[in-house]
Structure 1
């Protein structure tokens, strides 16, 4: 039996791992987390997937309890601005496509040929809620999709059956602190100290971590949450890191914390705005925004990137401190080697364009619980874990490559370069198919990676990669039911916009 786990590194990855293991195994597994007080945090605001609700529900944490303590807000989707041409935008929402007579509304949108309204406004309710800056919850706390309300209990990503309509924005540092309090109260041993050395036994397995002031810490299983440093997995065990920079060149970011001039003017979505050498994020927290610019340093210097970001989001605020970040883009060949599992940035990172950082942590710790070893460390279990982690990361990589290749923009050296970089065979095949017809669950990346076919199609249609014609079969079908579904969706959207409070109004009611 594995009786003890030592987690090296805190932050979101460390404390999500520690609290999840405690929630899963209780007193039967001792969990120690050691973190340095000197490690700086990014702390500019974090955006998530809607699936993160499984994590908080698993821990038994109610949204109206933890969200106000973490500067949290709602995310109904991502608004992509200027990815086709300046002034244009579209939404990638947390909402599956409806259908009529066996075909999705996206297929009918193509077939009917009415382009007076963009695809996203025609086929999703969420776009209208985003435009009106609405909360997904009524002032009494009820969800606008009542059938999806309520706790999921101890469910995992594997049990995700319906698309929950929102995710969160929050201050990642505040979430880490909140989870630390939760974990310590439930028995996680918290050691604040610097790790000076990682010991290995004769087999090359990790045997101990030495600290400056607390001596030697030992466990049966070690979790590396040391971020891009990869102190255990890379520096100690020598696991090879596979870079994705040949196909995803963005390798740096600069971030700012920006107060909103009007705190009540809160968008219920993340914004991703195309820039000269990458893209900029806006993440609205309860009383301020997190802003940043993700870029490829072969096309712009850090100094120029900072000036471009400041000019966009804070032109008169030279007092705001900029945080420059080097990003390691790619994944480890394997994230579990011997008795060490890397979770978070020490495992993989593929830039924050689709908010996959927290998702990768959640997926990894869930899979660790499902593949939790005994003292024999069955290598077949380890291999199964690594396959699932690698599949998820590689699927997101393909999805992000599609964003850049499909974007109808070639006005700078950076955007021209995105059209000439080598394409993995799988991505090329999908883009070729998308010229002819919309993708489906059989033709997107085949393994679990957090995104469904509606996401792939939403991005292609929004970015400008639109099939020349609809599927020929729809020419033989009566469009009456489809037209009725479009009308119903439009009416529901108008009803919800009228009934729901603003995002700020609802959040203010739970922050009192």
Structure 2
């Protein structure tokens, strides 16, 4: 039996892992987390996937319990600004496309849609809620989408059948602190100390973690949550890291925490605004915004990036401290080697676009529970875990490269390079197909990676990679039902905008 797990590193990855393992296994597995008080946290991952609700429900935590303690806000989608031309924008919402007579509304939009109205405003209800800054919940706490409310219990990503309509914005450090309290209350041993040495046995497996003040911490399974350093998986075990910078050049970020002057309004979405050498995020928290510039240092210096960010989001606020971050873009060839599993930045990272960092953590932890080893250390479990983690990361890589290749912007050297930079062969074939027909379950990346066909099509259409013509089959189908569905989308959107409180109004209520 595997009786003990030692997690090296805290932050979001470490405390998500510790709390989830304790929720899954209770007292049957001892969990120790060691973290240094001197290691700073990256703290960039303040936006999430809608699937994160599975994580908190698995822990038995109600949203109203944890969200106010983490400066939390709602994320109904991502607003992409200036990726095609200055002043243009579109939304990538958490909403599946409706289907009429076997074809999605996106297909029908190509045949019938009002080209004076953007695709996303014609086909989704959520975009109207974003525009009106609405909360996804009524003041009584009920969800605006019927049938999706209530706890999911001990469910996982694999059991997501319906698209939940929102995700979260939060202070990542506050979430880590909240989960630390949760985990310690349930028996996780918390050691605050510096790691001086990683011990290995004669096989090369990790035997212990030596700390400066607490001596040796021994365990059966070790989890590396040491961030980009990869202290266990790379530095100790020599794990091979595969860089994605040939296709995703952004390798640095600079972040600011910006107080909001207008305290009675909040956007219920993340903003990703194209900039000269990358893009700028805006993540609204309850009392401030998180802002940052993700860029490639091939095209701009850190000093220039900081100046461009300040001019865009905080003019005149040179007093706000900037956090400069070097990002390791790619994944390990294997994130589970011997008796060590890497979770979080020590495993993989593909830049903050589409908010995948915390999704990777959640996915890796869930798969670790499903493929948890015993004393036999069956290599099949390790191989399958590595396969699933690698597929998820590689799928996201393809999806993010699509953003840059489909974007019409070409006004700076960075954006010109994005058009000709290497891309995965499979993605080239998908984009060629998308020039003729919309993608579907058979033609997007085939393994689980968190994004469904509607996401691939929303990005292609929003960025300007539009099929040359609608599907010929639609010429032979009565369009009455499709026209009626477009009308229902408009009516549903108007009704929800009228009924729902503002995002700030609802969050102010649950914050007391």
Match of 1:32 in 2: 32
Map of 1:314-329 to 2, 5 A cutoff?
314-329=314-329
Q: Shift of the alpha carbon at 1:146? A: 2.4
How much has 1:45 moved relative to structure 2? 6.0
**Distance between the aligned counterparts of 2:131 and 2:75, measured in 1?**
13
TM-aligned CA deviation for residue 42 of structure 1? 3.0
Which secondary structure state, in structure 1, belongs to the residue aligned with residue 419 of structure 2? Answer: coil
Map of 1:477-492 to 2, 5 A cutoff? 477-492=477-492
Residue in structure 1 matched with residue 201 of structure 2 by the alignment: 201
User: Which residue is equivalent to 1:307?
Assistant: 307
Q: What corresponds to 1:124 in structure 2?
A: 124
Secondary structure of the corresponding residue to residue 298 of structure 1: coil
- Identify if the C-alpha distance between structure 1 residues 44 and 337 changes in structure 2 by more than 3 Å, giving closer, same or farther: closer
1:162 matches 2:201:
no
2:17 is aligned with 1:17: yes
Give the structure 2 partner of residue 448 of structure 1. 448
Give the CA deviation at 1:97: 0.2
Shift of 1:44: 5.3
Aligned equivalent of 2:240: 240
Aligned to 2:462: 462
Give CA deviations for 1:400-453 in whole Å, capped at 9, x if unaligned: 000000001100000000011112111100000001010001000000000000
Q: Which residues of 2 match residues 314-353 of structure 1 at below 5 A?
A: 314-353=314-353
Structure 1 residue matching 2:242: 3-state secondary structure: strand
Question: Once the 2 structures are TM-superposed, how far is the Cα of residue 113 of structure 1 from its aligned partner?
Answer: 4.5
* 8 Å Cα contact 1:13/1:225 also seen in 2: yes
Per the alignment, in what secondary structure is the counterpart of residue 178 of structure 2? helix
Work out the CA distance in 2 between the residues paired with 1:252 and 1:331: 16
Render the CA deviation track for 1:73-116: whole Å, top value 9, x for unaligned: 00000000000000010000000000111100000000114212
State how 1:49-60 maps to structure 2 within 5 Å: 49-60=49-60
Q: What residue in structure 2 maps to residue 368 of structure 1?
A: 368
* 3-state SS in 2 of match to 1:324: strand
> Are 2:89 and 1:96 aligned?
no
Structure 1 counterpart of 2:76? 76
SS of corresponding position for 1:272: strand
Counterpart in the other structure of 2:285:
285
- Residue in 2 that maps onto 1:218: 218
Tell me the matched-pair count: 512
Q: SS of 1:492's equivalent? A: helix
CA, structure 1 residues 364+44, in 2 after alignment: closer, same or farther (shift >3 Å)?
A: closer
| 8 Å CA contact 1:44, 1:291 repeated in 2 | no
Cα shift readout 1:365-422 (whole Å, capped 9, x = no counterpart)? 0000000000111001100000000000000000000000000110000000001111
Q: In 2, Cα distance between the equivalents of 1:75 and 1:113?
A: 27
Say if 1:251 and 1:45 are closer, same or farther in 2 by CA, change over 3 A.
closer
Partners of 2:45 and 2:346 lie apart in 1 by 20
Match of 2:409 in 1: 409
Aligned 8 A contact 1:195 1:211 in 2: yes
Partner of 2:397: 397
Q: Report if aligned partners of 2:222, 2:341 keep a CA contact under 8 Å in 1.
A: yes
Segments of structure 1 that go 5 or more residues without pairing to the other structure are none
TM-score, with structure 2 as normaliser? 1.00
* Aligned mates of 2:243, 2:413 — CA distance in 1: 22
Q: Is residue 2:229 matched to residue 1:229? A: yes
Scaled by the length of structure 1, what TM-score is found? 1.00
The answer as to whether partners of 1:45 and 1:289 remain within 8 angstroms in 2 is no
| Superposition map of 1:420-435 within 5 A | 420-435=420-435
8 Å CA contact 2:250–2:297 kept in 1: the answer is yes
Q: Distance in 1 between matches of 2:126 and 2:3?
A: 46
Shift of 1:148: 0.2
User: Does the C-alpha gap of structure 1 residues 320 and 44 become closer, same or farther in structure 2, counting only changes over 3 Å?
Assistant: farther
Note the alpha carbon deviations across 1:330-377, whole angstroms, 9 max, x for none: 000000010000000000000010000000000000000000000111
C-alpha separation in 2, matches of 1:184 and 1:357 = 24
Question: Residue 241 of structure 1 contacts residue 332 of structure 1 at CA under 8 Å; is this kept in 2?
Answer: yes
- The answer to whether the 8 A contact 2:45-2:357 is kept is no
Deviation string 1:170-213 (CA, Å, 9 cap, x unpaired) is 00000000000000000000000000100111111001100000
Partner SS, residue 436 of structure 1: coil
Partner Cα separation in structure 1 for residue 79 and residue 99 of structure 2: 23
3-state DSSP of counterpart to 1:303? helix
5 Å matches for 1:163-182?
163-182=163-182
**8 Å contact 2:45–2:355 — kept in the other structure?**
no
Distance in 1, Cα, partners of 2:290 & 2:116 = 34
Whole-angstrom distance in 2 between the partners of 1:171 and 1:479: 47
Alpha-carbon distance in structure 1 between the residues aligned to 2:81 and 2:400 = 16
Point out 4+ residue stretches in structure 1 off by more than 4 angstroms. Answer: none
- Aligned residues of 2:45 and 2:352 also touching (Cα < 8 A): no
